[in-house]
Amino acid sequence: MTPPITPITLTNKVALVTGASSGIGHATALALAQQGADLVVTARREDRLRDLCTQIESLGRKAVYYAGDAALESTAHQVTLLALNTFGHLDILINNAGIGSYKNLIDTSAEDYDTLMNANMRSGFLFSRHAAPHMIAQHAGTILFISSVAGLQGIAGESVYSASKFAQVGFAQALDAELRKHNIKVGAICPGGVKSEFGLGRGRTEEFIRNSHMMDPAEVATAIVFACLQPPNVRIPQLTVRHMG
């Protein structure tokens, strides 16, 4: 008879979440803390990070923050050092930082392209590059990229956004093949529309978001935590999350 699988928790695990000041990142940090993880959170808005750490500590977990641009290598370096100096190890990396952009090609400038690719893809590359050596050394870790359904199928009016999200999926697939021998799990979470500040001012309005069937960030966070709670011999390379609308 097969013995029952021991329930997985994140107690004593350390998770790093980028883009944690709002939306999916904020909700994911809280959801991870509820499962027992300690948190390192980063984004550009320090006041929100400070409030988030207070909420995490109210759940009985430890939390530290670093305010900075996730697309800068100095930020990735300093945040990783903060995690290691504070907790001594890093177990989970959630590459969530990014922006939305919903424009037709002819309305998209080269500057728009660079901004989007830096925020969505360069940030994930940098944080993974700085976290991976430590996970390799401890022979364990989980790296998740918060991509999008736009990274699975190109969408009209979202060509550059889709390109950045396809890049995240491809990067995650390649890292999965590269890092699995080190017992590191790598995956891409691909949600549909989410009710957050993500796309405001870049093609979406508050009214559009409010009246839509899009998901609450906490609902997506549940799926992200699910991917972090798999047994040691199980990984989720890719997970699509859609609303019921």
Which amino acids are annotated catalytic? 161
* Residue 188 phi, psi dihedral angles, 5° rounding: -120, 130
Residue 81 CA to residue 142 CA, distance in Å, equals: 18
Q: Which two tokens stand for residue 135?
A: 């996970």
Residue type, 240: T
Residue 163 CA to residue 209 CA, distance in Å, equals: 23
